[in-house]
Amino acid sequence: MNNPEPEFLPVPGIRLGAAAAGIKYADRDDLVVIELAEGANCAAVFTRNAFCAAPVVVAREHLRTVAPRYLLINSGNANAGIGDDGLRAARESCRALAATRGCAIDQILPFSTGVIGETLPVNRIAVAVPEALTALNDRGWPAAARAIMTTDTVPKLCSRQFEYQGQQVTVTGMAKGSGMIRPDMATMLAYVATDARVEPTLLQACLEQAVAPSFNSITVDGDTSTNDACVLMASGVSPCPPVTDRESELFRNLCATVQAVCMELARAIVKDGEGATKLVEIRVDQAATLEEARRVAYTIAHSPLVKTALFASDPNWGRILAAVGRAGVEGLAVERVEIWLDGVCIVRDGGRAADYTEAAGQSVMEQDTFTIRVTLGRGDLSTRILTCDLSYDYVRVNAEYRS
């Protein structure tokens, strides 16, 4: 890796260590341990894919039992789609770490990412755990962010701080994700930490509030992974007062900061979409319901014809118009619909806008970042999602993924 180390802020009470277990990749770290301070709290959201991976099942079970002390993450193998063997492997991985640290198995949350349908080599994880523990330190974020990568081309890290009663509160997060991205809860894998002291139900509310406009509003290819998980950790070592009131200024500041970190990580995931060359925001305004707004937005974003036109910088506006028309909006009055590329109106009054020119559309499409905006003329609800183009490299990366 020749990528420069991403900027980040350590989070007091959170330590990370990475090691090379040889799960799939040679000569690179692929195992991460995250240690939480005693008394820390954790919130999480997971995939809604019915074939959820074994570590998702086990992590959910453990979260219902006790506050976690460790997160154990491996890349290169999803530990998904192999039934009871996967559950045994996830629990054995937790047992290997628990034996080393002298804690209960259910104090460990396991996570995996990689190829679906292959047996997780627990013995390799057990051998590498001591190395990851030796590496534990509060500045381990960049190494951890690299170790959880699969087809990602860059590590994804983000930090923010805010001040409360003269004290700095830190929020730092990392994520991995590049393909198989259309989260239905969070993202592929994301871990966000703060040193604030937060009551568990408020921590969960903070996370769910943050993922809605961020990780739950992105798509690369429309595929929801079996392993998606997003965790928000609160170490509780900040000298600030504990967060116990949903209406408090401290809670509002924390939620805004966590959301800002999640938004930046979500944007980084789409920008790093496998082979992506364009980052495109799709906005749908004047919808009658939020559901129909999101249906229109995702129909555009998931259209292979639209996505390949984005890659070619081709203002083939008919593809966008067709996607809006087939999105299933009942009683859509097409004469009220307008479609824009940034500030260029391409569709109005049921067809191509009278003042639209190919040159104007081309100038927008040639940009690396732009907005497709649709106004439905039906109400006052809106949504926005981030997506990317579909390039030659997307096909190559996914065709060669298991080789």
Q: What is the pLDDT of residue 187?
A: 43
Minimal CA–CA distance to 12: which of 236, 261, 192, 230?
236
Place of tokens 């926005």: 384
Q: What is the pLDDT of residue 4?
A: 62
Q: What is the pLDDT of residue 394?
A: 75
Catalytic residue among 113, 151, 172, 187: 187
Minimal CA–CA distance to 169: which of 85, 75, 250, 99?
250
Q: Are strands 229-234 and 189-194 parallel, antiparallel or unpaired?
A: parallel
In this prediction, the residues of the chain whose per-residue pLDDT falls under 50 are 1-2, 185-187
Domain range list for the chain: 14-268, 279-399
Q: What is the pLDDT of residue 220?
A: 76
**Fold topology of 14-268:** L-amino peptidase D-ALA esterase/amidase (3.60.70)
Among this protein's residues, is 119 annotated catalytic?
A: no
Q: What is the pLDDT of residue 391?
A: 82
Task: Tell which CATH architecture fits domain 279-399.
Answer: Roll (3.10)
Look up the pTM and report it. Answer: 0.88
225: phi then psi, degrees, rounded to nearest 5: -70, 160
Chain segment 350-365, per-residue pLDDT in tens:
999 999 999 999 999 9
Chain segment 277-319, per-residue pLDDT in tens:
899 999 999 999 999 999 999 999 999 999 999 999 999 999 9
